[in-house]
Amino acid sequence: MKKEIICIVCPVGCHLLVGQDRNKELTVSGNKCPRGEVYGKDEILNPQRTVTAVAKINSLKIGFVPVKTDKPIPKALTNKLLSEIYRKKVELPVKRGEYLMENFAGTGANVIFTRTVEE
């Protein structure tokens, strides 16, 4: 098994080659830093993504408040998360860093507000 992927951890975007050694352990090459090795393995075993979106808020100035997951979540859960976020109706005021959702689907990731909205 050999897979070519681009690492998305930083703007360099190393071209990674993920393979298997004789003991069926995953090997990663092409990474220019240790984070790339972690990403390469995760991408095969358990691909994850940080998700950013917006949620409806009852502000007079802006229609939607931006949110993000405070750590990556399994890629397969992205659409489920987005559907839940889009159903929310947030009430003023909100502070950057506060939770919109806590421990989404048992992943340990929270959805936090990335903008303070007071009016």
Partner 1 sequence: MIEKTFDAIIIGAGAAGMAAASGISRGGFSTAIVEREDHIGGILMQCIHNGFGLTYFKKELTGPEYAEEYVLERLDDNIKIYLDTTAVDIKTEGDCKRVITYSASDGIMALKARAVVLAMGCRERNRGNLGIPGTRPAGIFTAGLAQRLLNIDGYVPGKKVVIIGSGDIGLIMARRLSWTGSKVLAVVEIQPHPSGLPRNIAQCLDDFDIPLYLSHTVTRINGRNRVSSVEVSPMENGEPDCSRSFTLDCDTILLSVGLVPENEFSRKAGVGISHDTGGAVIDADMMTNIDGVFACGNVLHVHDLVDYVTAESETCGRNVVNYLHGKINKETQGAVVPGANLKYVVPNKYQPERENHFYMRPLILRDSAVIEAKAGGKTIFKQKLKYVKPAEMISLKIPAANCLGIPLGEKIEIGLIEEK
| Shortest CB 22 distance to partner 1, Å | 29
Residue 54 sits in the site that holds partner 1 (CB under 8 A): yes
Token representation of residue 33: 């830093």
- Answer for the pair 69, 92: CB distance below 8 angstroms, yes or no: no
Nearer to partner 1, 27 or 50 (CB): 50
- Per-residue interface string for the shown chain with partner 1, residues 13-52, x marking contact by CB under 8 A: x-x---------------------------------xxxx
Token representation of residue 103: 């421990």
Number of residues that bind partner 1 (CB under 8 A): 30
Question: Measured between alpha carbons, how far is 64 from 89 in angstroms, rounded to an integer?
Answer: 9
Q: Choose which of 20, 45, 58, 62 interacts with partner 1 (CB under 8 A).
A: 62
| Candidates 17-25, 63-71, 99-107; binding stretch for partner 1 (CB under 8 A) | 63-71
Q: Which helix (H) or strand (E) holds 89?
A: strand 89-90
Q: Which helix (H) or strand (E) holds 72?
A: none
